[in-house]
Chain A
Amino acid sequence: MPDQPDDNEVEERLREIIDRLDPVPERLLAAALDSYTWRTVDSELAELVLDSVAEDQAALVRGREDVRLLSFEASGLTIDIQVSSSGQGRRIVGQLAPPGPASVQIRQGSGVTDLDADELGRFRGPLRDGPFSLKCSAGEERTRSVVTDWITI
């Protein structure tokens, strides 16, 4: 056909349609710009090393409860958490290893929740929707601080 549009023309037309149909929502762009303020410069990063969703699909089928297990690791500190969802919302139950008291902060876009880990390194608290990260400050003076990778449940 003489008037057959070429690849680039087709692509540009499709790009226009998608631009109009599915742009990045404005509020998200604002949230992305704001993400910078969550940056910590003096904390060690605990990276995600285990996620029950990624590790064991069979368990998801077996499990009746809506429970997610996650593990974050920094040098010398492991943070294991279990997130359970129910009609009343979501809750985090966590365990620090090695065990010991610490200040734990749940960080979410909508705000922060301050918790205390007990002598055995256990803590628990509510979790709102959306991505979250934990900040743990341990040691005698709470001088050592670790933040986990952000994650979506």
Chain B
Amino acid sequence: MEQGEAGDLVKAAAQGDEAAWRVLVERFSSLVWAVARSFRLSTADASDVYQTVWLRFAEHLGRIQNPERVGAWLATTARRESIRVVRSRSRALPIEDATLADLVPPDETSPELAVLDAEQARLETDRAKQMWRAFRDLPVRCQQLLRILMASQRPSYVEAAAALDVPVGSIGPTRARCLRQLRRLMNEVSGNDSQPHTKKRDQLGDDRAGSA
């Protein structure tokens, strides 16, 4: 979606055009969800942030200063609300539902893969699990950026920068560095496939950013 087109949709929605609202929601829904998830929010908390952002957006439709930058506005609002929830949850009881890190790729028995033959399905599953494991071993900042860029409606770098509150110019280089690290972790994992995973690998965690 061009910026001009997005701006026109915001203006139309502000004047009562519900079809324009629908297009905006469908275009930016995955971005808002991705930002909340990138802050490692549980499904319940991410749901609250997601709904708050859209409700607030509806109320702000006619008041947004740069309607053509609506994606960045939504990303910024999602970031602020996510941080608010992270802070308020630090003293509340933990909610026992899944954050991004708790998700596990489905097994070959899952319906999505049932159409593939058994051997092919097993390979697909193994590849997905290997990549997912590597993703979760990335430094937090890399996981966060990649989760945002992986929104199913791919965001612009301007929107990703708003979601992370970093300069636009940093997104490209950081993406390249994070993907390089992801590839390296995948190679490590596949190189060690015959051996059990050592504890050391799991403990490296976020410190890996410094050695990149």
Q: Give 7 closest A-B pairs by Cβ, nearest first.
A: A150-B55, A32-B54, A35-B54, A131-B52, A152-B48, A24-B33, A39-B58
Report B-chain residues with C-beta under 8 Å of the C-beta of A20. Answer: 105-106, 112
Q: How large is the interface on A (under 10, 10 to 19, 20 to 34, 35 or more residues)?
A: 35 or more
CA of A61 to CA of B84, assembled, Å: 16
Please tell me if the beta carbons of B51 and A31 are within 8 angstroms of each other in the complex. Answer: yes
CA of A29 to CA of B103, assembled, Å: 20
Q: Does A5 contact B (CB under 8 A)?
A: yes
Instruction: From A4, A28, A152, name the one whose CB has the most chain B CB atoms within 10 angstroms.
Output: A152
Please tell me if the beta carbons of A21 and B87 are within 8 angstroms of each other in the complex. Answer: no
Interface residues of B, Cβ cutoff 8 Å to A: 13, 16, 18, 21-22, 25-26, 29-30, 32-33, 37, 43, 47-52, 54-63, 81, 84-85, 87-88, 90-92, 100, 103-106, 112, 127-128, 131-132, 135, 146-147, 149-150, 152, 154, 175-176, 179-180, 182-183
Measured between C-beta atoms, what is the minimum distance from B137 to chain A in Å?
13
Please tell me if the beta carbons of B131 and A28 are within 8 angstroms of each other in the complex. Answer: no
Q: Given A14-B146, A18-B147, A31-B54, A152 and B49 touching (CB < 8 A)?
A: yes
Report B-chain residues with C-beta under 8 Å of the C-beta of A39. Answer: 58-59, 61
Residues of chain A in range 47-64 having any CB-CB distance to chain B below 8 Å: 51, 53-54, 57, 60-61
Interface residues of A, Cβ cutoff 8 Å to B: 4-5, 7, 10-11, 13-15, 17-25, 28-29, 31-33, 35-36, 38-41, 45, 51, 53-54, 57, 60-61, 66, 68, 109, 130-131, 133, 147, 149-153
Please tell me if the beta carbons of B60 and A45 are within 8 angstroms of each other in the complex. Answer: yes
**B55 to chain A: closest residue by CB:** A150
Residue from the list B18, B88, B128, B132 in contact with A153, Cβ < 8 A: B88
Please tell me if the beta carbons of B52 and A29 are within 8 angstroms of each other in the complex. Answer: no
Please tell me if the beta carbons of A152 and B150 are within 8 angstroms of each other in the complex. Answer: no
CA of A30 to CA of B212, assembled, Å: 42
Please tell me if the beta carbons of B59 and A130 are within 8 angstroms of each other in the complex. Answer: no
Residue from the list B81, B112, B176 in contact with A7, Cβ < 8 A: B176
Please tell me if the beta carbons of B55 and A35 are within 8 angstroms of each other in the complex. Answer: yes
Instruction: From A18, A147, A153, name the one whose CB has the most chain B CB atoms within 10 angstroms.
Output: A18
Report B-chain residues with C-beta under 8 Å of the C-beta of A41. Answer: 16, 62
Report B-chain residues with C-beta under 8 Å of the C-beta of A130. Answer: 48, 51
Residue from the list B21, B57, B84 in contact with A51, Cβ < 8 A: B84
CA of A54 to CA of B87, assembled, Å: 8
Instruction: From A14, A33, A51, A109, name the one whose CB has the most chain B CB atoms within 10 angstroms.
Output: A14
Please tell me if the beta carbons of A18 and B150 are within 8 angstroms of each other in the complex. Answer: yes
Please tell me if the beta carbons of A35 and B51 are within 8 angstroms of each other in the complex. Answer: yes
CA of A13 to CA of B84, assembled, Å: 32
**A27 to chain B: closest residue by CB:** B47
Please tell me if the beta carbons of A53 and B84 are within 8 angstroms of each other in the complex. Answer: yes
